[in-house]
Chain A
Amino acid sequence: MRVAIASTSNTLDARICEHFGRCDYFIIYDTESKAIEYIPNPYKYDDYDAGIKSVELVTTRNISKIISGEFGLKIKPMLDKLKIQLIVVKDHNKKISNIIELLNQ
């Protein structure tokens, strides 16, 4: 199973990003092979629809869950249709490595 995490930088010490569409990096984590892929977010400074474009980008990696600090309103219907689960982590001090540990439990 693959999970996309919105991150503030491209290390495992980075914190979870508060805004999915405008995060610095998307981290794609594969829970089976433990592979980690960092994708820089090309839509970070887009004026509009950054969330929708980001969803289109991460869904090319065949993910089934997205973890972020917050989500925008527009992507919820999209993710419902694609049957992707949203996980909102309110604790913004959580590091990416903490989240990956939790996923591996």
Chain B
Amino acid sequence: MSRQKRILRKVSNLPIIKGFKPYGISFDENREGIKLLYEEYEALRLCDYELLNHHQASIMMGVSRPTFTRIYATALQKIAKAFVEGKQISIEGGKVYFDSDWYHCQKCGCYFNNPLKDQKVEGCPLCKNFNIEKYENNNIDNHI
């Protein structure tokens, strides 16, 4: 049976690091590390850094609440596994796109984003025109 198609998860920004290395044990570069997916990093960031609840965080990532909880649970499991087994964590891959929520104004030709994600964009911030459209071209589809 084929797995249901995954919807893309929205990630606001890439993490500033590529991963973590343990210290205190003899470290072997070739030893297999743990891959933390971008969506798992994002789930952890939203929940435990931005202190959102699962419902709010799921809206930010554009997935359902149960899916979000599942992503969050795997993130915690992977981190726990890396801690206990002294493994390296690398943050990579995942079925994500980078949220930028850019809009394009048809009248003055400017592009703008919406930093207040809980509010809807009403019009162009420059010329106050309502003829705006979502700008989709810069979405990055990052498959595993």
Mark A residues whose CB is within 8 Å of B: 65, 67, 76-77, 79-80, 82-91, 99, 102-103, 105
Taking the closest CB of chain A, its distance from the CB of B125, in whole angstroms, is 6
Q: What residues of chain B lie closer than 8 Å to A102, measured between beta carbons?
A: 108, 126-127
Contact B126 A80 (CB under 8 A): no
Contact A91 B126 (CB under 8 A): no
| CB nearest to B128 among chain A residues | A105
Q: Mark B87-117, 1 if CB is under 8 A from A, else 0.
A: 0000000000000100000001111111110
Contact B13 A89 (CB under 8 A): no
Given contacts A99-B126, A102-B126, A105-B127, are A87 and B111 in contact (CB under 8 A)?
yes
Contact B109 A87 (CB under 8 A): no
Q: What residues of chain B lie closer than 8 Å to A67, measured between beta carbons?
A: 126
Identify A77's interface contact among B13, B108, B111, B116, CB under 8 A.
Answer: B13
A-B contact pairs, 10 of them (CB 8 A): A67-B126, A80-B115, A85-B115, A87-B125, A89-B110, A90-B109, A90-B110, A102-B126, A103-B126, A105-B127
Mark B residues whose CB is within 8 Å of A: 12-13, 100, 108-116, 125-128
Contact A80 B108 (CB under 8 A): no
Main secondary structure of the interface of A (DSSP, over half): mixed
Taking the closest CB of chain A, its distance from the CB of B11, in whole angstroms, is 11
Contact B13 A87 (CB under 8 A): no
| CB nearest to B108 among chain A residues | A102
| CB nearest to B102 among chain A residues | A88
Please, how many angstroms separate the alpha-carbon atoms of A67 and B114 in the complex? 13
Please, how many angstroms separate the alpha-carbon atoms of A76 and B12 in the complex? 10
Taking the closest CB of chain B, its distance from the CB of A47, in whole angstroms, is 20
Please, how many angstroms separate the alpha-carbon atoms of A26 and B113 in the complex? 20
Q: What residues of chain B lie closer than 8 Å to A86, measured between beta carbons?
A: 112-113, 115
Q: What residues of chain B lie closer than 8 Å to A88, measured between beta carbons?
A: 110-112
Please, how many angstroms separate the alpha-carbon atoms of A84 and B125 in the complex? 12
Q: What residues of chain A lie closer than 8 Å to B12, measured between beta carbons?
A: 77, 80
Q: What residues of chain A lie closer than 8 Å to B13, measured between beta carbons?
A: 76-77, 80
| CB nearest to B12 among chain A residues | A80
A79-B115, A87-B110, A102-B127 given. 11 additional CB < 8 A pairs?
A65-B125, A76-B100, A77-B13, A80-B12, A80-B13, A83-B116, A85-B115, A85-B125, A87-B112, A89-B126, A91-B109
